[in-house]
Homo-oligomer: A and B are copies of this chain.
Amino acid sequence: MALTQEERKAETRTRLLAAAADLFAEHGIEGVSVDAVAEAAGRTSGAVYAHFGSKQGLLLALLDSWQQSFLTVLFAEVAVTDEPIDQLGAVWGNIGKGSDERVRRWMLLEHELSLRAARDPDVAAILKARNQETHRRSERELAWWAHEVGSQPVAAPDQLAVLVKALLNGLAMQQRVDPRSVSDDAAVAGLAALLGLGIGSPGTASAEATGTVVVKPSEAPPTTTTTRQTTTTRQEHIS
């Protein structure tokens, strides 16, 4: 007796979800058959249907098990330096450079899901819920960061998180079309602009002419924290 049935079932479920995440990210959701997922997990398609009922069910369960947020990952390496600009560089480096293959594939999957959300209400609902949950976290991090650095962002924390994420996603998109069309400096400058960091702008020829933003230097209370209900059953998960 190696495993109880419950243990075996749980492990199978985990392996199926992991395999699905891997393959979906690598080949696109439509590019992966149920059999392929099962085989990668060391099972057969029967197990998939016993667990999830359909391929769509597998996808939805996968999304549901997805805890890691975009910005959480992004800011993982921020701490390596104290210089704000370098921190932004690290953030962009995480995405822009093909430094980490896992990040790249994960972003591909994220983008595919946002597309799918436009046509699939179930996917849209799950993505929306997850988005709201993770944004509450990242907006606190951003607000805290801005406060720490002393910058004056262009928008309130919640909207700032949206803007930063949007810019990064858009740059990643652009980079897939033409990698050389996105300069690292410009990406960092864009982030800095959103975050209200005054940088020497390259401009056309004019150099300095920096931020000098017109703001009321108000306090930015970092915690929104309304009844955090973290469903602990969910698993951390990236690739």
Residues of chain A at the chain B interface (Cβ within 8 Å): 27-28, 30-31, 108, 111-112, 114-115, 117-119, 124, 127-128, 131-132, 135, 143, 152-157, 159-160, 162-163, 165-171, 173-174, 176-178, 181-183, 185-187, 189-190, 192-194, 196, 198-206, 209, 212-216, 218, 220-221
Contacts and interface: CB of A to CB of B under 8 A. Distances in A.
A214 to B, nearest CB: 5
| Most-contacted residue by chain B among A117, A174, A209 (CB, 10 A) | A174
A165 B117 CA distance: 21
Contacts of A154: 186, 189-190, 192-193, 199, 201
Nearest to A114: B173
Identical chains in the assembly: 2
Given A28-B115, A190-B154, A190-B155, A201 B174 contact: no
A192 B216 CA distance: 17
For the complex, would chain A's binding face be called helix, strand, loop or mixed by DSSP majority?
helix
Given A108-B118, A212-B214, A215-B201, A132 B181 contact: yes
Nearest to A119: B28
A109 to B, nearest CB: 10
A181 B119 contact: no
Q: Which 3 A-B pairs have the closest CB atoms?
A: A166-B170, A170-B170, A159-B186
A155 B196 contact: no
Given A212-B214, A213-B198, A203 B156 contact: yes
11 contacts: A114-B176, A124-B176, A131-B174, A132-B181, A135-B181, A156-B204, A159-B202, A166-B170, A166-B190, A167-B170, A169-B170
Contacts of A111: 111, 114-115, 173
A200 B214 contact: yes
A163 B169 contact: no
A185 B203 CA distance: 25
Given A155-B186, A206-B159, A169 B173 contact: yes
A167 B165 contact: no
Contacts of A119: 27-28, 31
